[in-house]
Structure 1
Amino acid sequence: MIAAEQGGPIGAGCTVAQWLRYWLATDQGIRPRTRQGYADHVRLHLVPALGRIVLSELSARDVRRMFTALAGRRNRYGRPLAAASLERIRATLRAALNEAVREGLIDSNPARTLRLPAAPRPRAQIWTDRWVAAWKAAGERPRVAVWTMPQLVAFLDGVREDPLFPLWWLAALRGLRRGELAGLRWVDLSLETSELAVVQQLVHVGGKLVPFPPKSAAGRRTVALDPQTVRLLRRHERDRRAEKARRGEAWHDTAQTRRGGSSVAPDYLTYRFHGLVLRSGLPPVRLHDLRHGAVTIALAAHVDLPVVQDQVGHAGIVLTADTYTSVLPELHHRAARATARLVLSAARETARRVRRGRCGWMTQV
């Protein structure tokens, strides 16, 4: 026996439900947000489908039957569960059963051999004129959308008086995640060297906002700042200090706080951003889509992909290339013209060395 639980001892004869609850309660290596996702999967999907089965009798067929049923289920919006959602549920089950293998409760993991449809990484769609027209006519919108440069400029111009404007600016230009924006402290800004250090993010845990380090080593990074951003942050810090002094409030190290000194929650950033977008009349994007847009802008400015990878804090360049590199339309046209110029230049050079009749098409282009 490993331990005892309200539902009975945790041993070879325990049920899948007993083991899953024990695993959630004892594994201290799980990050809070990850643990919350695991708990949701256990409560909503794994226990209802597999909970009554004795852990040692759980088979690959049981697991496959559960995922077949899940694939036919509809979410609250009436759509089937996405392949990415099924993959995350499978990851939860595999992690729990791998721990059961390590504890000697089962010989092998019955979820290990399960094959699910590949979950494609989302690719951002630029809000071109045609997409905007489709959205206005029928409400159609891409799953992940990015504003064009004029659209982004229009949004930033419209919200320049918003108290959270510096955060919208950093999200749009430097691609910080919402938890990183909420957790940003004045001490993390080195305006003398024009740099910003991402060393923590705010996360909701048990109804409280708790600072945690970034998920990966790559997430802990230094982000370069341009002179305009430095001026913006200096002015913002000066204004915030003056406001605090006027109200007689203590100075908080968090770079952005709400009235009264409380930190800005990541969920509040999402909520406020959504309202600002609605009022702007621009085609809709999510707060996280500004991160996609920041990569797009960097590529438009001819920034090398490895530099962009470091900027947004990805551990591997494949994720940056596959997920975040939606490219502005003008870059496609620029690439097409550059390719054509290269071919035509070579063709004209060849035409000088051979008879005109054999390479007439080259000289006529």
Structure 2
Amino acid sequence: MAGTRRAARRGRGEGGISFREDKELWVARISLGFDGGGKRIRKTVYGETKNEVAEKLRKLQADHDAGRLVDAEEITVKEYLTRWLGNTAKETVGDGTWERYRQLVHKYLIPILGGLKLHKVRPLHVEQAYADMKQGNGDRKPAGADARKSAGVVLSIALKHAVRNGLIPANPAAEVKKARPARREMAFMTPGQAKRFLVAAERNQNFALFSLALGSGARQGELLGLVWSDFDFDRGTMSISRALSQVKGEFKLKEPKSQAGRRTVTLAPSVLAALREHRAAALKGGRIAAPVFCTRTGQYLDKKNVLRAFKTIVKNSNGAEEERAGESNSEPDLIPARLRFHDLRHTHASGLIAAGGSIKAVSRRLGHADVSITLRVYAHLMPDDDEKLATLAGTLFG
């Protein structure tokens, strides 16, 4: 006989188990109270055995008590992304990355997809969202390829998490093609340009910072987070174990992205000389307990101010080079104006690789988690030794 053997009525947050003879399944229900319209909200799960359903019910009740239970039928993309940003993403990525996620979510994803129910999002919606980003709408300017790709990556990560949590059966963004930004040509200085850059930087109070950046290939955050105990002047080394993060004007020291980020780098005599002079100035100015590279009051350096100084040095160096070229009636060898501070790292790596440095040793020096990263970024700069290899093969096997 078809029907349902019902359990006694339970209170809010409690569950009931019954058997559906028409479906030949056990069913568990949990009451979540009422929505804004006064309608009771219930959650239902099924199972082949009573014990299976009882276990599911216990998990539902535990999630409800902990405030983790989400009504997948009602939650919108806006509600989900807001919750994902504030909980999951906040705990799994660094401050700078999280801020970028937040900007992309609120600038592009929520305005376009936010009103949709999460469980109703399909690949077609995602594809149309990417098209809308490219076109722009009203006050929202068209998004470039970099922004569209980044927004797509964030959306895919967030929806993958929704799949893991059982809110949706599959990730609708997984198979949708993302924008493909044009490949940017890497910018860096030649050894000659780098030497002229350092000459122009000698009068800057943070000359040692620029010298160390070129001489070590360390990231800007790693350099700005250094303290004097990170240097061993007797051995001529620098130890890297932290990086300075700056988000919305707030400074925070963080751990390296990978174990490879913790490393000791040997420095050239010219770099050590610049550091010794910088240390003497810090000692004289009462800043020896402050970060190695700091303001006159011992505070962390603002990245914007560092970039401003960097651009000024590049401009001065190019000005001197144009003057020299004019006097000698020759073509000036100018530093690319679009260079960023980070390109001092590229200059360091590209110079070593072009000179025949071991790619594995360069990778370790840069703190890359895997040598494949170094190969992917700098492979086009590696010298073509095919003729040398042919000669070597002839010697060995000819």
* TM-score (norm: length of structure 1): 0.76
Q: Which amino acid in the other structure matches residue 260 of structure 1?
A: T
Cα distance between partner residues in 2 of 1:267 and 1:316 = 30
SS at match of 1:297: helix
- 2:309 is matched with which residue: 272, 279, 282? 272
Equivalent in the alignment of 1:45 = 108
How big is each residue's C-alpha offset from its partner over 1:195-248, in whole Å with a ceiling of 9 and x where there is no partner?
11111111124531111112222222221112332232222212220122xxxx
Contact between 2:200 and 2:316, CA under 8 Å: does it hold in 1?
no
Measure, in 2, the Cα distance between the counterparts of 1:18 and 1:34: 21
Q: Does 1:104 align with 2:141?
A: no
CA displacement, residues 78-135 of structure 1 (integer Å, 9 cap, x when unaligned): 99622x43332122112211222222221221111222355576442xxxxxxxxxxx
1:1-365 matches, within 5 Å, as: 10-12=70-72, 13-27=74-88, 28-72=91-135, 81-82=144-145, 84-116=146-178, 118=180, 122-124=184-186, 145-244=187-286, 251-281=288-318, 282-283=334-335, 284=337, 285-325=339-379, 327=381, 335=385, 338=388, 342=391
Q: Distance in 1 between matches of 2:148 and 2:264?
A: 35
Instruction: Summarize the Cα distance change of 1:202–1:267 in structure 2 as closer, same or farther, 3 Å threshold.
Output: farther
Where do 4+ consecutive residues of structure 1 move more than 6 Å? none
8 A Cα contact 2:76 2:118, kept in partner: yes
* Deviation, structure 1 residue 31: 1.4
Aligned partners of 1:148, 1:325: CA distance in 2, in Å? 17
- 1:38 positional shift: 0.7
Map of 1:361 onto structure 2: none
The alignment's C-alpha RMSD in Å is 3.0
TM-aligned CA distance change 1:292 to 1:299, over 3 Å? same
- How far residue 338 of structure 1 moved from its aligned partner, in angstroms, is 4.1
User: Residue by residue, what CA displacement relative to the aligned partner does 1:245-270 show, whole Å, maximum 9, x if unpaired?
Assistant: xxxxx543411111111111233222
Pair 324,168 (structure 1): closer, same or farther in 2 beyond 3 Å: farther
Residue 211 of structure 1: SS of its match in structure 2? strand
The percentage of counterpart residues that share the same residue type is: 27
Contact 1:292 1:326 in 2 (8 A): no
Compute the TM-score of the two structures, normalised by the length of structure 2: 0.70
Question: In 1, Cα distance between the equivalents of 2:380 and 2:299?
Answer: 36
Opposite residue 290 of structure 1, the aligned amino acid is: L
In the aligned structure 1, how far is the partner of 2:379 from the partner of 2:212? 18
Equivalent position SS for 2:96: helix
SS of the residue corresponding to residue 258 of structure 1 reads coil
Out of 52-61 and 224-233, give the one that drifted further. Answer: 224-233
Q: In structure 2, what residue type is equivalent to 1:51?
A: G
Q: For 1:317 and 1:118, how far apart are their aligned partners in 2?
A: 24
- Shift in Å, 1:326: 5.2
| In 2, Cα distance between equivalents of 1:325 and 1:158 | 31
Question: Secondary structure in 2 aligned to 1:324?
Answer: helix
Match in the other structure for 1:139: none
The corresponding residue for 1:133 is none
RCO greater where, 1 or 2, for CA within 8 Å and sep 6 or more?
Answer: 1
Amino acid at match of 1:29: T
Paired residues of 2:228 and 2:288 also in contact (CA < 8 A): no
- Kindly indicate whether the alpha-carbon contact (under 8 Å) linking 1:182 and 1:265 is maintained by their aligned counterparts in 2: no
AA aligned opposite 1:11? D
After superposition, the Cα gap between the structure-2 partners of 1:311 and 1:16, relative to the gap in structure 1 and judged at 3 Å, is: same
State the alpha-carbon separation in 2 of the partners of residues 121 and 181 from structure 1.
Answer: 28
Rg larger in structure: 2
Secondary structure of 1:309's match? helix
Q: Which residue of 2 aligns with 1:142?
A: none
Structure 2 distance, partners of 1:308, 1:17, is 44
Closer/same/farther in 2, CA of residues 204 and 100 from structure 1, 3 Å limit: same
State the alpha-carbon separation in 2 of the partners of residues 40 and 218 from structure 1.
Answer: 30
Contact 2:207 2:274 (C-alpha < 8 Å) held by counterparts: no
